[in-house]
Structure 1
């Protein structure tokens, strides 16, 4: 091998984006075998994984996507690239059904068949589910999730879980094959799937990644990134009111809207709600993908998306909402709001009463809020007591979620009233701003609602949300707390004195 060949090989070994179109071949949706040029979704996935690997030395990712966006194609190519360039490593791919197992292994065989001789590893004994590279002592194997014991007893460095939301024994596989992956540098675990409802293993892992409670990063790929998801626009086409809103929020053009119309029509067979089915199969946002069951959500995703995109400077009195964690898996959440601008969410896990009180006291000293509204359920009462002891009683608003609403004929309790006020704020004609965070978005769009026999409005409880597999909407509750009460006193520091003024919402 001469110097030029060594340089070519080094570049192919070190840079997957450079390697893929030069060394890998894929079968396109049109049935042609062509070089693997990464599309927009695949480039985004690649950038996220490489950044995580740069920071941590390994990859742990959970990927939520729509139908046929190339996530498996990218992951299989990546794993073939890794295994074919390293000694003594194993890749294992676990799919949800036998047909998918065969399809992914066929993809790997195609990669190997068309790989250029300069970087093609020597193949030893292989079979219908395994490629073994004898000189490297490395291997690539696939399995089907129907068998609870699949993959147990092996050690692998690279793992791809395909369509994890559809695994029949997901928790067993988490205990088995996924425990075969060492917690070491240069190991990779990629779990990808379309959504399949809420409460299952994939949804649980997505929620944990989204809130930073696990070492996994959450990667979402929206459907409209696909260039091929378009349809010709007929003469006389006009956007509906819903389509106008989608076009404005997500930058969709008429050809993309026509694709959406066609797919909704296809998915509407046999009485199926085509719009809801489209949202699950071709999601715009992660929150849209996980369809909520058991009732309508109080806050719809569209105003939340708009609020995430809008930017403005806050004005008026500073109100801070604090939802202290009550249980081990809950987060303490803190958020600021000045009239139409909410900003700076903070979340904490496993903090004691005194720690939370200390965090809030530091914020008060630094930011001089006019009001700090705190949920007094659980450890919240202790947090309020400590802050009052520190001399902040004038600005502390202790809020009991279960107490009577200001309008008890309209709302079952105070929490419902606050959430409806927050929904009205988001739905108002005047634009508002919230932090551009997926976990807050999921919290706001999580709780459902209903009416009691007296036609009072009821917000779904945190306990009922957990029964459906949803996490506690802690950041959403923190923002709702900023709508609990008008500001009675505004605190302004002028030469270390406090001036009282009156302000409202």
Structure 2
């Protein structure tokens, strides 16, 4: 091998985006075998994985996507690239059904059969589910999730879980084959799936990753990134109000809207509501993919998406909402709001009362808020007691979610009142508002459902009932709602005079 060939080999070994179109062949949706040119979704996934690997030395990723967006094709190509360039490593791909297992292994064989001689590894063994590269002592294998013990007893450096939301024994595989991947540099675990409702293993892992509570990176891929997801626009095409909102929020064009109409009609069969089915199969956001069942959500995604994208400077008194963790899996959430701008969301897990009180005291000392509203349920009472002991009683507002609302004829309790005020703040079309651009906050805000009691009072779904549906506690949403708990009183202190609207609090 001459110097030019060595330079070519080095770049192919080190740069997957350079390697893929020159080495790998895929079967396109039209049935042709052609070079693997990464699409927008695949480039996004690749950038996320490479950045995580640069920061942590390994890859741990959850990918939520729509139908046929190329996540499996990318991951299979990435793992073939890694295994065919490294000695003594093993790659394992686990799918949800036998047909998919065969399809993914066929993809791997196509990569190998069409690989140029310059970079094609020597094959020592090949069968229906395994490729073994003898000179490298490396291997590439696939299995089906129907077998609880598949992959146990082995050591794996690269693991790809495909359509994880549909695994029949997901928790068993988490305890088995996923534990076969050592917690070591240069190892990779990629779990990808379309959504399959809430409460299952994939949804639980997504919630943890989204909230920053696991080492996994949550990667979402919206359907409208696919260039082929378009349909010719018929004569007389007129957008609906809902479609106008999609254009405003996501920049969709008429051909994409027509694709959406076509798919909704196609999915509307056998009693299935086509729009809901489309959202699960072709989501615009992660929150849309994991649709809420059992009632209407109080806050819809549209104003939340708009608030995530809007940027402004906050003005007026600083109000801080603190929702202390109630149980071991809950988060303590702290968020700031100045009038139309909410910002700087912080979350903490497994912190004691004294630790949370110390964090809040430090914030008060540094940021000098006009009000700190704290939920006194669970750990909150201890946090409030400690802050009052430290001399912050004139700033701290103790809020009991179950207490009577300011307007008891309209709301069942204080928590419902705060959430409705927050919804009105988010949905005010006359003045846009800003919230942190965080998926976890988005999910929290769009989680709780609502109903009315026999006296037509408004009731917000309780945290306990939310947990029964498989959703995490909306702690960040509750923290933001707390900033609407009470009007900010006129105060005078050694730091500054803070004046607020005594009727609205914002």
**Under TM normalisation by the shorter chain, which class is it?**
over 0.9
What is the distance in 2 between the residues matched to 1:33 and 1:206? 34
Measured at CA, do residues 31 and 397 of structure 1 come closer, stay the same or move farther in structure 2, by a change above 3 Å? same
1:208 aligns to what SS in structure 2? helix
Contact 2:399 2:485 in 1 (8 A): yes
Structure 1 residue 102, shift from structure 2 partner: 0.3
> 2:222 — aligned with what?
222
Structure 1 residue 452, shift from structure 2 partner: 1.6
The 5-angstrom pairing of residues 248-397 of structure 1 reads: 248-397=248-397
Structure 1 residue 500, shift from structure 2 partner: 6.0
> 2:18 — aligned with what?
18
What is the distance in 2 between the residues matched to 1:69 and 1:94? 18
2:276 aligns to what SS in structure 1? helix
> 1:144 — aligned with what?
144
Structure 1 residue 306, shift from structure 2 partner: 0.4
Contact 2:370 2:498 in 1 (8 A): no
> 1:441 — aligned with what?
442
> 2:188 — aligned with what?
188
Contact 1:26 1:35 in 2 (8 A): yes
What is the distance in 1 between the residues matched to 2:26 and 2:277? 29
Contact 1:395 1:489 in 2 (8 A): no
Contact 2:94 2:160 in 1 (8 A): yes
What is the distance in 2 between the residues matched to 1:297 and 1:288? 12
Structure 1 residue 196, shift from structure 2 partner: 0.3
- CA distances 1:454-489 after superposition (whole Å, capped 9, x unpaired): 221111111111111100000000000001110013
Scaled by the length of structure 1, the TM-score of the pair is: 0.98
> 1:487 — aligned with what?
488
Stretches of structure 1 that go unaligned for 5 or more consecutive residues are none
1:270 aligns to what SS in structure 2? coil
Structure 1 residue 490, shift from structure 2 partner: 4.0
> 1:80 — aligned with what?
80
Stretches of structure 2 that go unaligned for 5 or more consecutive residues are none
Structure 1 residue 450, shift from structure 2 partner: 1.3
> 1:177 — aligned with what?
177
Moved more, 165-174 or 293-302: 293-302
Is 2:109 the partner of 1:109?
yes
What is the distance in 2 between the residues matched to 1:363 and 1:181? 41
- CA distances 1:403-425 after superposition (whole Å, capped 9, x unpaired): 11111111111101110111111
What is the distance in 1 between the residues matched to 2:393 and 2:31? 70
Structure 1 residue 26, shift from structure 2 partner: 0.2
What is the distance in 1 between the residues matched to 2:173 and 2:359? 40
Measured at CA, do residues 314 and 490 of structure 1 come closer, stay the same or move farther in structure 2, by a change above 3 Å? farther
Contact 2:317 2:499 in 1 (8 A): no
Contact 1:165 1:194 in 2 (8 A): yes
Structure 1 residue 294, shift from structure 2 partner: 1.2
What is the distance in 1 between the residues matched to 2:497 and 2:60? 52
What is the distance in 2 between the residues matched to 1:503 and 1:247? 36
Contact 2:317 2:500 in 1 (8 A): no
What is the distance in 2 between the residues matched to 1:123 and 1:500? 74
Moved more, 86-95 or 456-465: 456-465
Structure 1 segments, 4+ long, off by >6 Å, are: none
Moved more, 268-277 or 194-203: 268-277
Contact 1:317 1:503 in 2 (8 A): no
2:30 aligns to what SS in structure 1? coil
Contact 2:266 2:274 in 1 (8 A): yes
What is the distance in 1 between the residues matched to 2:378 and 2:436? 26
What is the distance in 2 between the residues matched to 1:489 and 1:355? 29
2:361 aligns to what SS in structure 1? helix
> 2:209 — aligned with what?
209
Structure 1 residue 497, shift from structure 2 partner: 5.4
What is the distance in 2 between the residues matched to 1:489 and 1:288? 41
> 1:499 — aligned with what?
497
Paired positions, count: 502
- CA distances 1:237-276 after superposition (whole Å, capped 9, x unpaired): 1111000011000011111111111011101112211111
Contact 1:324 1:332 in 2 (8 A): yes
Measured at CA, do residues 343 and 490 of structure 1 come closer, stay the same or move farther in structure 2, by a change above 3 Å? farther
What is the distance in 2 between the residues matched to 1:490 and 1:285? 42
Measured at CA, do residues 393 and 259 of structure 1 come closer, stay the same or move farther in structure 2, by a change above 3 Å? same
What is the distance in 2 between the residues matched to 1:3 and 1:434? 55
RMSD: 1.0
Scaled by the length of structure 2, the TM-score of the pair is: 0.98
What is the distance in 2 between the residues matched to 1:274 and 1:133? 47
What is the distance in 2 between the residues matched to 1:293 and 1:497? 48
